[in-house]
Structure 1
Amino acid sequence: MIDDLKYASMAEAFINGVQKAKQENKDKLVTYTMECESQPLQFYRNSEKLKMDFRHFWSDPEGVTLVGVGSTLDLTADGHSRFDSIQTRWLAFLKEHQISIEHAGTGPVLMGGFSFNPVLTAAEEWTNYPAAAMVLPQFLLTQRENKAWLTVNKRVTPKDDPKALIATIEEQKNMLLADRTDEEGYFQTHQDLQVTALFPTEWKASVQKAVDKMKAGELEKIVLSRALRVKKEGSLNIPALLYRLKQQQPNSFVFAIERFGDAFVGATPERLVKREGTKFYADALAGTASRGGTQAEDEALGQGLLNDKKNRQEHQFVVKMIKDDFEAFCDKVIIPDRPVLYKTRDVQHLYTPIYGHGKPDAHLLDAISKIHPTPAMGGTPKEKAVALISELESHERGWYSAPVGWIDSNGNGEFSVAIRSGLIRGNEARLFAGCGIVSDSSPTEEFKETEMKFRPMLNALKEE
């Protein structure tokens, strides 16, 4: 296969790719990866010039960043088999093209995510976000350990003119990698916002209904979310928003998934599941308190959270269910005895890392299918909680609190839980925040907790 060969240049790769397409009389995927020098946010901003329908941004707290531009393959699915559908088609695509890679997160990489529910309602705002949507970008920038690689993934046909094809790709590549001298001013633009809470009274009533059901023994925990509508004059600046999220939330996963002009953006502290070789990792993150104004106050709030019965109960629901789910695809699961504190700029959480040795046939998308939604996003028992969420919430969650991330051709990758997020359409954003409700929850106190959880996105939008 041509894709297994090492080429001296991108031009040579595409010349040979077109020749192979002609010989076999069918389209071929050409993948070429090169080291480069580029800043991810600058690369993302530069991509606006290409006016492509898809852009993806992903960065983790450990320094790995991926930026995808354009689409060579757009896999979508709906219904309860959506994870299996994406996995089956992705593995078949990789088998057909037999791509080999040297560095994790380079070469053919799918980027995107899934909705909270397997079947979406007819909510107009989520039109461009199917229940599953994973994209193989045409251009992919991967940065880790102070190194950066640019991957070009392009289907070539028997009718392509290699010289014209190479000239176009070189022009696009140069535009993406161009250095910008006005970066600081561009990313520091200020946004004047109008913020409106959607159905706050109804949300508190829903919390009380849930509490009543738990006291009646119908379920143990449920997560209820609510929404804010945010408007400004003129379009919201997505690269600038990402810049501020990375500056303000350094311990979070920062992401953006743009499809046909809409952007789903967030800075989430919660990993859903990561696969690295044969190892799987997940985060149990549930139980929340505010940050203090002084170090002493902050420590007191943290200790209060660690010793709070309601929050510890909520957290343990999450730990137990993730452990049970991990045992389906891991031979061994390792969990610390008690949680620690995970602090972000605006809030602090109870946090337990979970680690497992994967079974020989374990796949990342299998793990996501098994784990999602965790009790931190849905509740327990899972089926009852998810059904009640649809009944009690006054909005369509769409991709809020659902898996977003990436997976490469070797099966390595990482997905986070899309909380602290918002859907942006032109000059309007719909922000989402939720909290875990248990039998002794107070609607008023839970409403205050959601106010804290809106802060990361609001602060980044307003540049506070």
Structure 2
Amino acid sequence: MINEVKQDSFSESFIMAVEKAKQERTEQLVSHTMQVEGISSIQFYANSCQIKTSYRHYWSDPKGLSLVGIGCARAFEYEGDTGRFHFIKSQWETFVKKHSITMKAPARGPLLMGGFRFDSKASKQEEWQHFPSAALVLPQFLLTIDCEGCWLTINAVVGPDEENIYQRIIDLEEQRERLLQRKAHSLQSASALKAYDIKGEEWKEAVACAIDEMAQGPLQKIVLSRSILAQSSNGYDIPSVIQKLTEQQPNSYVFTIERQGDTFIGATPERLVKREENKFFADALAGTAGRGKTAYEDEQLGHALLNDKKNLREHAYVVQMLKDVFAEWCESTEVDPYPTLLKTKDVQHLYTPIKGEAKSSAHLFDAVEKLHPTPAMGGTPRRLAVERITELETHDRGWYSAPIGWVDGEGNGDFSVAIRSGLISGHDARLYAGCGIVSDSHPDSEYIETEMKFRPMLNALRGSR
């Protein structure tokens, strides 16, 4: 791989890569990273609307890392029932090795952004047609913002039969300049937003059915989700929705995955697994209560949640599963003995962080495969719960509650659980929310909980604060 850091060396790198591709009769990756100033992640994303592309990705975490990927230098996709995690892992490792990819720092340079379906075996409905079982993209342009600064990476794959070399260089440089324009994005809000419940009563019946089943058989917990349809007369301005989510949900991972004009977007408080050098990190997040209108009421609700047997049991299933997986992939594991509270704008959750010293053989995609879905998204026992989810839910989850995130050339990366999210297509936004159902759950109470979980996306779509 030819990896240059000076802005004026991009064209030279590109030409050298083409010459090498012709000599060796094989493709070459040109990856050019430069430090930039004066551009925000939201503005960069908004500027990309001037560029014709079918792929846009956005990612930000509560610690200050933001990634924006525009375009596609290479797509890594898989459509099938089994083997998707291994396939993506194998293809990415082969690509990294072939092009000798190295990173000067985590997330600065060539990396993949994207995600997976919740259940690759479930029937896909039309609204999810552009979202395969697995789909991760090496962006043509990647903006990385972290605590040390802001970097732009340009990725291009060239082949031995490359033609119109100079025109391609000119096109990439023109696109770069458009993306780095400093014009502030004007926030827009959706007008006349209307939300419609989709089979809410049927969902309550499914919850009641699951509760009855737990009293008779091996099912201990199941997570059942429902959806609503939010329609806007003027459509949705995605950069504005992203900005609202980042403002309103500072403790969440904000993500956007746009494919072929459809956009999966959300602000999730739950990390699935992160790898940073030789460390693994995960979050157990299960058990939910609302926020109080006053500080005293909020404290009382939090105290009640920390002592609620139903929610503690639901949370314990997740903690135990994470501990079991970390025991397989880590030399040692650290787990807090008691949950604390993680508070978002609309709800608060029981929260237990877990970290471990990764074994040398452990890969991020291996951990993602072993962890997904956790009992917080599927249930216990896992296989039975996922089977019953397919039978009881009235919609296709698609990528909702599935792993979404990024991975770089050194194996560093971060995947979250895609909850508090929705799929936007034109004037329609399908929003998703779910609850963990155990034997002492109540359908009406669980329904109210999903209503709280719809609020982050509804508020962002309305443009309200």
- Tell me the TM-score normalized by structure 2: 0.97
Structure-2 change in CA distance of 1:405 and 1:45 (3 Å): same
Per-residue CA distance 1:236-281 (angstroms, 9 max, x = gap): 1111100100011011000000000000000000000000001000
Counterpart of 1:176 in structure 2 is 179
Is this contact kept in 2: 1:40–1:67, CA < 8 A? Answer: yes
1:87 pairs with 2:89: yes
Per-residue CA distance 1:350-407 (angstroms, 9 max, x = gap): 0000101111110000000000000000000001111110110000100000000000
Structure-2 change in CA distance of 1:23 and 1:6 (3 Å): farther
Per-residue deviation, 1:190: 4.0
Q: Which runs of 5+ in 2 are unaligned?
A: none
Counterpart of 1:150 in structure 2 is 152
Per-residue deviation, 1:234: 2.6
1:9 pairs with 2:12: no
Counterpart of 1:74 in structure 2 is 75
SS in 2 for 1:323: helix
SS in 2 for 1:250: coil
Counterpart of 2:56 in structure 1 is 55
Partner Cα distance (2:265, 2:148) in 1: 25
Letter of the 1:53 partner, please give it: S
Per-residue CA distance 1:277-329 (angstroms, 9 max, x = gap): 01000000000000000000000000000000100010001100111111111
Per-residue deviation, 1:146: 4.7
1:255-274 map, 5 Å: 255-274=255-274
Partner Cα distance (1:359, 1:118) in 2: 28
1:129 to 123, 131, 139: 131
Counterpart of 2:235 in structure 1 is 235
Letter of the 2:63 partner, please give it: E
Letter of the 1:72 partner, please give it: A
Range 252-261 or range 96-105, more displaced: 96-105
Is this contact kept in 2: 1:113–1:133, CA < 8 A? Answer: yes
Is this contact kept in 1: 2:221–2:381, CA < 8 A? Answer: yes
Q: Which runs of 5+ in 1 are unaligned?
A: none
Count of residues paired in the alignment: 460
Counterpart of 2:248 in structure 1 is 248
Counterpart of 1:332 in structure 2 is 332
Overall identity of the aligned pairs, in %: 52
Per-residue CA distance 1:133-181 (angstroms, 9 max, x = gap): 0111000000000511100110123333443222111100000001114
Partner Cα distance (1:290, 1:191) in 2: 28
Per-residue deviation, 1:3: 2.3
Structure-2 change in CA distance of 1:357 and 1:138 (3 Å): same
Is this contact kept in 2: 1:334–1:355, CA < 8 A? Answer: yes
Counterpart of 1:356 in structure 2 is 356
Per-residue CA distance 1:385-436 (angstroms, 9 max, x = gap): 1111011000010000000000000000000000000001010010000000
Is this contact kept in 2: 1:379–1:386, CA < 8 A? Answer: yes
Counterpart of 2:65 in structure 1 is 64
Structure-2 change in CA distance of 1:19 and 1:6 (3 Å): farther
SS in 1 for 2:257: strand
Is this contact kept in 2: 1:58–1:254, CA < 8 A? Answer: yes
Is this contact kept in 2: 1:193–1:462, CA < 8 A? Answer: yes
Counterpart of 2:120 in structure 1 is 118
SS in 2 for 1:327: helix
Partner Cα distance (1:188, 1:172) in 2: 24
1:425 pairs with 2:428: no
Counterpart of 1:101 in structure 2 is 103
Is this contact kept in 1: 2:342–2:348, CA < 8 A? Answer: yes
Counterpart of 1:35 in structure 2 is 35
Is this contact kept in 1: 2:281–2:353, CA < 8 A? Answer: yes
Letter of the 1:426 partner, please give it: G
Is this contact kept in 2: 1:4–1:98, CA < 8 A? Answer: no
Partner Cα distance (1:9, 1:441) in 2: 62
1:165 pairs with 2:164: no
Per-residue deviation, 1:5: 6.7
Letter of the 2:308 partner, please give it: D
Range 62-71 or range 165-174, more displaced: 165-174
Per-residue CA distance 1:6-54 (angstroms, 9 max, x = gap): 6662122112112212222332111111101221110001001112000
Letter of the 1:401 partner, please give it: S
Counterpart of 2:442 in structure 1 is 442
1:281-320 map, 5 Å: 281-320=281-320
Letter of the 1:193 partner, please give it: L
Partner Cα distance (1:202, 1:101) in 2: 50
User: What CA RMSD, in Å, does the superposition of the two structures yield over aligned residues?
Assistant: 1.2
Per-residue deviation, 1:215: 1.2
- Tell me the TM-score normalized by structure 1: 0.97
Partner Cα distance (1:298, 1:191) in 2: 32
Range 450-459 or range 232-241, more displaced: 232-241
Range 71-80 or range 385-394, more displaced: 71-80
SS in 1 for 2:245: helix
Partner Cα distance (1:230, 1:120) in 2: 24
Partner Cα distance (1:188, 1:340) in 2: 37
Per-residue deviation, 1:235: 2.1
Letter of the 2:75 partner, please give it: D
Partner Cα distance (1:436, 1:55) in 2: 32
Partner Cα distance (1:4, 1:244) in 2: 36
Partner Cα distance (1:190, 1:381) in 2: 42
Letter of the 2:410 partner, please give it: N
